[in-house]
Structure 1
Amino acid sequence: MTGHILIAHDLRSTADLALRRATQLARQHGARLTLLHVFDPKLSQGERERIEQSLDHSLTQFAPPGSQLRLIQGKPAEGVLEQVQQSGADLLVLGAHHQRHELFSGTTLDRIARRCPVPLLLAARDEDSAYRSAVAALDFSLCACTALHQACLLLPSEASIHALHVFEPQKNAAIAEAELRTQRALIDQLIHDEALRLPTTAPQLSHEVKVGSILRTLQDYINRQQPQLLVLGSHGRSALSQALLGSLAQHFLHKAPCDVYVVR
């Protein structure tokens, strides 16, 4: 259940886009919303006051009544992660970035994503209606399964989520065909078990297994089907430690084709 949403705002227009998405989700779930800005300690008092006025305007224009504004000083990644912990938020929302000079670009976004203890939603679409369609990259990792489950709880009942498992075959054709049959059976069972865990109000859940490379296959699906949301485990099928960010999640966070929902 989403009860408290933290939206980290960096004064860009895409951050207002993220605020609109956070507002939609807050209203859908009856959740509290806190708008956070981390400012440079070197800023003058006048600059801080102008930032506060700008953010207060965004909060008044987009956020539901009762939403809070919080300004702290420090480094962006550390400040955001600290506030996630202290505020008790269960969802962090950021705006997608497209240029290197922006506040949440590059390593700052990576630091937040790899250490964020709650699901992270990167808003890339200029849209604030409820989600209707999502695709989830699914493998046999606990992380990917958790991401699928959390997404099913996030989306409204009238939405649909398509779980996509990509099988990368061996060179030996006979072995590859046997492995493909096995993986299809395992994914069928996994989805069946997951559906039993979901409430009756969960969105429609479908699945398939495709053969190919995970990145290209997922990108092709997104290009064809145009889902509003991409659901990823933060370190999925790789053997990376909890401290690292999986290459698939990292790729789509930096080149978001739609909104991206990342779960550890």
Structure 2
Amino acid sequence: MPSHILIAHDLRDTADMALCRATQLAKQFNAKLTILHVLDPSKSSQEHEQARQSLDTSLTKYAPAGTQLLIRTSSKPSETVLQEVSELGCDLLVLGGHHQRHDFFSGTSLDRIARNCPVPLLLVARNDFRPYERALAAIDFSLCACSALGQAYRLLPETAELHALHVFEPTKGTPKQVEAQLATQKALIAQLIKDESLNYPENGPTLSHSIEQGGIMRCLQARLKSNRTELLVLGSHGRSALSQALLGSLAQHFLHKAPCDIYVVR
């Protein structure tokens, strides 16, 4: 799992939350941690100096010893972040949640990063930095969803619980036909989880799964609430109905109104 974590810090309160979570993961995996800040070229030199001082404070207060601080200047922060991910060879990108509009590192930048990030993206929305205990993964039959489940399994500590949820939306038919479709889906998902788990490390979180019938958004929101989920795991590229939905309004909804931390895997 992660050996080099990059956190894009934009000076908001949630960026320090993200730094605390990145620090916890860096310690968990003995990983290198780098903080990146992109200066807005339209700001004054005094504002740039204030930004540097703020970053130094966050680095001293929250980051482990040996953390590297990178400061770049660009009018396209999302492109700079993605470039640094590639050039530094990072394998996890961490951002703070975007509950409010930000003048420079806006929601549009977040969308662009989520669509193009070559490594898993962790969006931090919770002010709690203990190791994760409860995670929910949206699962379908796409390679991307399976990859996301496997990445989450490796990210979570052995004491955690990882639940894979498949949302089944039946085609039109009689109640008996729908029941038969549901039975088929249950068998297929059970076999999928069994096959995928053969590739997982021997020691890992407790893995469970279930199938629910209904709309994707409603089912995920209900499960997130009822299980007090701390981490939602989503695959970002796939061709099934679920994956296509995750690429569109569903992904935007959870990224911009995150009810918990969001882990997005390509």
Distance in 2, matches of 1:55 and 1:180, equals 52
Where does the alignment leave 5 or more consecutive residues of structure 1 unmatched? none
Counterpart in 1 of 2:232? 230
- Give me the TM-score of the superposition, normalised by structure 2: 0.94
- Give me the TM-score of the superposition, normalised by structure 1: 0.95
1:247 is aligned to 2:249: yes
Contact 1:143–1:263 at 8 Å: present in 2 too?
yes
Counterpart in 1 of 2:7? 7
Structure 1 range deviating more: 43-52 or 223-232 = 43-52
Distance in 2, matches of 1:192 and 1:62, equals 40
1:194 is aligned to 2:196: yes
Deviation of 1:179 (Å) = 1.6
Q: Secondary structure at the match of 1:209?
A: strand
Deviation of 1:249 (Å) = 1.9
Q: In the superposition, relative to structure 1, how do residues 41 and 2 fare at CA in structure 2: closer, same or farther (>3 Å)? A: same
Contact 1:235–1:247 at 8 Å: present in 2 too?
no
Q: In the superposition, relative to structure 1, how do residues 190 and 231 fare at CA in structure 2: closer, same or farther (>3 Å)? A: same
Number of equivalenced pairs = 262
Contact 2:40–2:104 at 8 Å: present in 1 too?
no
Q: RMSD of the alignment, in Å?
A: 1.6
Contact 1:238–1:246 at 8 Å: present in 2 too?
no
1:45 is aligned to 2:45: yes
Distance in 2, matches of 1:103 and 1:175, equals 52
Structure 1 outlier segments of 4+, above 6 Å = none
Counterpart in 2 of 1:122? 123
1:35 is aligned to 2:35: yes
Contact 1:34–1:67 at 8 Å: present in 2 too?
yes
Please give the per-residue CA displacement for 1:81-140, whole angstroms capped at 9, x wherever unaligned.
111111111000000011123544321111000000000000000011100110000011
Deviation of 1:205 (Å) = 0.4
Where does the alignment leave 5 or more consecutive residues of structure 2 unmatched? none
Distance in 1, matches of 2:51 and 2:192, equals 48
Distance in 1, matches of 2:85 and 2:53, equals 23
Letter in 2 for 1:180: L
